[in-house]
Amino acid sequence: MPEALGAAAVAALAAPHLLTQTRLSAPSAIALWVSVLALRAALALSLVVIAVLYLPATELFGLLTRWCIHAVIPFFATHLGFDGHRIGDVAVLVPALVIAASVLSVGFGIWRGARAAHGWLRRDSLGPGPSSSVIVGGSEVVVAAAGLRAPRVVVSAGALVQLDDAELAAGLEHEWGHVTRRHRFVALAGQFLAGLSRLLPGSGRALEHLSFQLERDADEYALRRTGDRLALASAICKAAGSRQGHSTPALASLGGSGVSERIALLLGKPGSSSRAGNAAARLLSVTAAMLTLTLAAATPVLAASDWDQVRQAQSDRVADCE
């Protein structure tokens, strides 16, 4: 049963990367990559539980950690409180410590980004701008949604000079799309889930796909409001070189993820999304969600059932030194 669950999880994680991202509707793709990141996080935590509770009970682990150095050199136990078996126990906890450090790093980065965005608005704000935006100083082309709790759409003085009326309107609508559709919360969840699953290969790529689809969704929101593909593509191109081009949960910039792909989509012949691809994306989203719930429910049960066996194995290793 655990082997089948693991194989199904691996297949559900690999399959979304085979889909053509530009042929999926943005909402379907966003749901897909959030569910994939959630499954990755659940799988990473399950692997940590296995490392902490199951490896100590294996024969190989017993052979590798049966050093009894504290019995051979009593100085370590008498003066340093050092137990040779604890080396193996600490080694088992390394993956859990790495995940905890990763999540703390993500949380600190988000907090620092939100604080930087708040300070930027407070320091450089020049007054109200078009479409309920806030004008900030600077010669670069910056159009962004800044903040987490109460986001504001920001436009720089450079953008007001370098963008024409149609480009400015399209860029502002793109940012209002981020605010209206609450993309900051999706990006926030994605960052934490990627932090939890950082030990698994491909988690960074999954987060990149999610960021790209959030930008696509905001592009489509802007097109529904303005209908001007050329103006939006031109505004994205002009904003791409800004130092504020990197998007974070607290700062969604017009020149964010996937600039070249988004411009190609806007300038190319408008095409409909793939019906088969969207159906596959929805099926994979549901599958990943079900596997996530299964892993979340099964892991504590399996861990509790084998806890006594793990403690007995540890006791046996200690007894071998006496």
| Residue 259, amino acid | V
Bigger pLDDT: 314 or 125?
125
Question: What's the pLDDT band for 301 if we cut at 50, 70, 90?
Answer: low
Tokens 């190319």 locate to: 268
Tens-digit pLDDT profile for residues 198-210: 888 999 999 999 9
- Is the pLDDT confidence value at 161 over 80? yes
Of 305 and 147, the one with more pLDDT: 147
Predicted confidence at residue 305, as pLDDT, reads: 58
Residue 12 scores a pLDDT above 60: yes
Which residue blocks in the chain are alpha helix, DSSP H?
2-14, 26-53, 59-65, 69-72, 74-80, 84-124, 157-162, 165-180, 183-196, 203-226, 229-239, 259-267, 275-320
3-state secondary structure of 135: strand
Could you tell me which residue, 84 or 179, shows the higher pLDDT? Answer: 179
The whole-number pLDDT of residue 176 equals 96
Contact status, residue 145 vs residue 181, Cβ threshold 8 Å: no
- Render pLDDT for 24-83 as a digit per residue (tens, 0 to 9): 999 999 999 999 999 999 998 888 877 766 665 555 555 545 555 444 444 444 444 444
Give the model's pLDDT for residue 66: 54
**Rounded to an integer, what distance in angstroms lies between the CA atom of residue 263 and that of residue 174?**
14
Task: Determine the average pLDDT of the residues in 139-150.
Answer: 90
Specify the pLDDT at position 62.
55
Please check the confidence at residue 318 and state whether its pLDDT lies above 50. no
Q: Taking residues 241-250, what's their average pLDDT?
A: 70
Q: Which of 42, 3, 15, 47 lies closest to 290 in space, CA to CA?
A: 42
Identify the residue with better confidence: 304 or 76: 304
* Maximum pairwise Cα distance, the chain: 83
Q: What is the mean pLDDT of residues 287-304?
A: 82
Per DSSP, what are the bridge partners of residue 83?
none
Where do we find the tokens 């932090």?
A: 195
pLDDT, position 50? 75
Is residue 5 very low, low, confident or very high in pLDDT (cuts 50, 70, 90)?
Answer: confident
What is the arithmetic mean of pLDDT over 5-12? 82
Which one-letter amino acid corresponds to residue 312? Q
Q: Which residue has the tokens 């719930």?
A: 293
Average pLDDT over the chain, rounded to an integer:
82
Across 62-71, 284-293, 304-313, least confident range: 62-71
> Where do we find the tokens 């987490």?
148
CA distance 60 to 145: 53
